[in-house]
Amino acid sequence: MAGMVTDDLNKFGPFGRYNGVTTVSSGTFDFSSGSGLGAAAFILSGSAGASGQLMDINDPKQEGSWIELSRGGKLMITSMSVGKVYEIGISRAYSNSVKTHICVLRR
């Protein structure tokens, strides 16, 4: 096998726009090298949206969850909608709570 789950998938190549997902919960994940390369979109799930879980009282910096972009800059996820696909190049993702899930989609 060369990257896909089965040999049959390797014969035909990837189907769909995204072919992998990494869920970031309560921590940081780096998508700028290694197995994280190809992060091209994300979806928020869990209680990441309007439920009030975006600022965790156990987060000493109280900075909230964020997405760092491939060409620089940082997006705070406080005003983003749960379940919507945001297509954007991602270098790092940080979730400040086990209830905030950032599902990063890879090509």
For residue 105, pLDDT beyond 90:
yes
pLDDT, average across residues 41-57: 61
pLDDT band at 94 (very low <50, low <70, confident <90, very high): very high
Tell me how far apart the alpha carbons of residues 83 and 18 are, in angstroms, rounded to a whole number.
16
pLDDT-above-90 percentage for the chain? 35
Highest mean pLDDT among 17-21, 53-57, 73-77, 89-93: 89-93
Tens of pLDDT, residue by residue over 5-16, are 777 777 776 677
pLDDT, average across residues 42-61: 57
Q: For the chain, what are the domain ranges?
A: 17-106
Name the residue type at position 87: E
pTM for this entry:
0.75
Q: How many CA atoms lie within 13 A of 56 on its CB side?
A: 19
For residue 53, pLDDT beyond 90:
no
What residues contact 101, with CB distance under 8 A and at least 6 apart? 23, 24, 25, 44, 45, 46, 48, 95
Which token pair is 35? 């197995």
One-letter-per-residue 3-state SS of 21-90: EEEEECEEEECCCHHHCCEEEEEEEECCCCCCCCCCCCCCCCCCCEEEECCCCEEECCCCCECCEEECCE
